[in-house]
Amino acid sequence: MRLFELAYACRIYAGVTEFDKGYKSFVKAVGKRIDLGSSKHLKELLKWLNSWGCRQFAIKYHANAMESIKQWAHKWESKLPDRNISLEALSEKEIDIICEAYDSLSKQFASKRQNGSKKTDVKIGHTGAAKILFAIRPNTLPPWDIPIRKAFGFDGEPASYGNYLRQVREKVQELCSDARRYGLEPNGIGSAVDRPNSSLPKLVDEYNWVTLTKKVNVPGLNILNKWLKWL
């Protein structure tokens, strides 16, 4: 990924979505670190997930979902890599542990759905699990959605989530290499593309959302040069 490609996609992302509003409210409410043992923080987490299109978390069952996430966190959160570790620094062993945690989280209770005369359990699922992991490790783990998974041929299972982490890591490395050509260090990329509150994994997610979920093509050099002439 080139820096200009990211800048173009992020400008569209910021201009056409309401995702920033929900995420900023969530970060403001929980501070620098979400506490999955806190009911207040869990309420904010589910509110944010709903704002990001996670309809599996029906408001009527928020209390039940909070409890299932809390129980998952009691077992798994301490096994995850440190919050400050970057995606690029993850070892293969750490990715394996993350994938196990992701698999467990995806199978936790989210709500119930009426099917005829019966109610069936709705699980957190692959998209919900990835977004929750992003919420608790924003500098390390990217979110994803169904169109992004399908575009890469991933089925959402733990092995494909691990492969997605490796793929995003490769994009981050390409991006950082390109940015250094212009004197930018990794921690300055977000500000350079007017996304100062987005971590590197989040920046890649924004690019993927624009180019894969919404299928917007980033202009090539010929088009960019033509636009420059119009200046």
Within 13 Å of residue 36, how many CA atoms lie on the same side as its CB?
20
Give the DSSP per-residue string, 146-166.
HHHHHHHT--SSHHHHHHHHH
CA 156 to chain centre: 14
Q: Answer whether residue 138 is part of any domain.
A: yes
150 within a domain of the structure (yes/no): yes
Query: Which pLDDT score is estimated for 88?
Result: 94
Residue 95 within any structural domain of the chain: yes
**Within a domain: residue 230?**
no
Q: How much is the pLDDT for 56?
A: 97
The predicted pLDDT at position 52 comes to 95
pLDDT at residue 147 in the model: 96
User: Domain for residue 222, yes or no?
Assistant: no
The total number of structural domains in the chain stands at 1
Q: What is the pLDDT of residue 112?
A: 95
Residue 32 has what pLDDT?
Answer: 85
**Which pLDDT score is estimated for 117?**
81
Query: Which residues, other chains included, contact 138 with Cβ-Cβ below 8 Å and sequence gap of 6+?
Result: 199, 201, 202
For residue 135 the two structure tokens come to: 């919420």
10-residue mean pLDDT series, the chain (231 residues): 96 93 95 94 98 95 98 97 94 97 98 88 97 97 96 96 97 97 96 96 97 96 94 91
Task: Examine residue 43 and state whether it is found in any structural domain, yes or no.
Answer: yes
For residue 161, being part of any structural domain is answered with yes
Domain of residue 34, residue span: 3-214
Q: Are 190 and 196 in contact (CB under 8 A)?
A: yes
Q: At what angle do helices 19-30 and 39-51 cross, to 10 degrees?
A: 170
Report which residue type is found at 69: I
In a domain, 229, yes or no: no
